[in-house]
Amino acid sequence: MNYDEIIKKLKSLANPKNLAGMARFGINSKNTLGVSILNLRETAKQTGKNHMLALELWDSGIHEARILASMVEEIDKISEKQMDSWARDFDSWDVCDQVCMNLFYQLPVASKKCFKWAVKKEEFVRRAGFALIACLAFKNKKLTDKEFLKFFPLIKKYSNDERNYVRKAVNWALRQIGKRNLALNKAAIKEAKEIFKISNKAARWIAGDALRELQSEAVQRRLKKMKIFVRVKTSSKKEEIKKISETNFFVAVKEPPIRGKANRAIVNALAEYFKISKSQIRLALGATGKNKIFEIDFKNGF
């Protein structure tokens, strides 16, 4: 579909009844049609990726067309200048968050933009900085814990911003980092306790809400049970473990794949790597294959 056909379709899908509900959630009703995200995703699937079309849709100024633009944009064709321009155009929290979730988090400069946008005074540009941190935390599996720890000073510094859409994004970033893994959970809880000491209403709300979730039984239970995917090399000249991503590892062991010797060696290597007991590791899938899934129960952490 071309630009005119898409705009015509969006207008045909307009639902005035949805506008009232969107307004109750603080969504800007200016140039808004009330088209559902589900319909936008279906339209994006039918349309395919198209950089020039994405630019046209964004320039239309129509609320849903801008969300759709983030779904059809070509990742390898978007520039930093375009990212900054779109961020300055944000006038509603949902457009901001959808663009970050659909598009911006995938770009190599995403972390850089978090720092750049978070210091801006404009409410939705600053929100974009923290919303992007949140999206990276739950969508980018390759970033290391060290890279997320760098965001904590930024979160603490702007936790005193009492503007609603900023404080909620700061809170979102802190919570998502703390739900990424057990190590970051401990770090986020520690940071939240420091933020709670700040004599500021927004800071205390951000920290208090984050602590309730990050220390909850549900979050702790999920983080202490982890599945990892392991690519194995047996009969190797040297033993090694390489962390490919948050839940993907490469493990080489000297033992051959005979009578479970290699699997036991892998368990030993993982136990040493995570500094836990071998009894906390269970081979869940792939007993005889090179690709295996292990379940790890961290119990009291690692």
Instruction: Grade residue 221 by pLDDT with cuts at 50, 70 and 90.
Output: confident
The arithmetic mean of pLDDT across residues 46-61, rounded, is 97
Instruction: Grade residue 225 by pLDDT with cuts at 50, 70 and 90.
Output: confident
User: Using one digit for the tens of pLDDT, what is the confidence trace for 277-289?
Assistant: 999 999 999 999 9
72 token code pair = 């059809």
Instruction: Grade residue 300 by pLDDT with cuts at 50, 70 and 90.
Output: low
pTM for this model (two decimals): 0.83
Is pLDDT at 164 greater than 60 in this prediction?
yes
CB 184 within 8 A of CB 224: no
Give percent of the chain above pLDDT 90: 87
pLDDT score, position 29: 85
Is pLDDT at 67 greater than 90 in this prediction?
yes
Residue 141 phi, psi (nearest 5): -85, -5
Topology at the third CATH level for domain 80-223 = 1.25.40
3-state secondary structure of 183: helix
Is pLDDT at 118 greater than 80 in this prediction?
yes
**Taking the alpha carbons of 112, 168, 150, 301 in that order, is the dihedral positive or negative?**
negative
Q: At what angle do helices 3-12 and 51-59 cross, to 10 degrees?
A: 50
Buried b (16+ CB within 10 A) or exposed e, 19-44: beebeeeebbeeebbbbeeebbeebb
The arithmetic mean of pLDDT across residues 13-23, rounded, is 86
Is pLDDT at 24 greater than 80 in this prediction?
yes
Angle of CA points 125, 131, 136, to nearest 5°: 130
- DSSP labels for 78-100? --HHHHHHHHHH--SHHHHHHHH
Of 124, 205, 196, residue with least CA distance to 162: 205
Is pLDDT at 145 greater than 90 in this prediction?
yes
Residues of the chain with CATH 1.25.40: 80-223
pLDDT score, position 168: 98
The arithmetic mean of pLDDT across residues 189-218, rounded, is 97
Is pLDDT at 239 greater than 70 in this prediction?
yes
pLDDT score, position 21: 82
Of 169, 159, 90, residue with least CA distance to 124: 90
- Mean pLDDT of the chain, nearest integer: 95
Pick the most confident of 203-207, 220-224, 243-247: 203-207
For 224-297, which CATH class? alpha beta
**CA–CA distance, 181 with 145 (Å, rounded to integer):** 9
Residues of the chain with CATH 3.30.1200.10: 224-297
Give percent of the chain above pLDDT 70: 99
3-state secondary structure of 36: coil
CB 60 within 8 A of CB 7: yes
Is pLDDT at 206 greater than 70 in this prediction?
yes
The arithmetic mean of pLDDT across residues 53-69, rounded, is 98
pLDDT score, position 19: 84
CB 51 within 8 A of CB 74: yes
pLDDT score, position 25: 83
Q: How far lies 23's CA from each of 29, 66, 111, 161, 225, in Å?
A: 6, 18, 31, 23, 39
Residue 30 phi, psi (nearest 5): -65, 130
Q: At what angle do helices 110-118 and 80-89 cross, to 10 degrees?
A: 40
pLDDT score, position 47: 96
Instruction: Grade residue 139 by pLDDT with cuts at 50, 70 and 90.
Output: very high
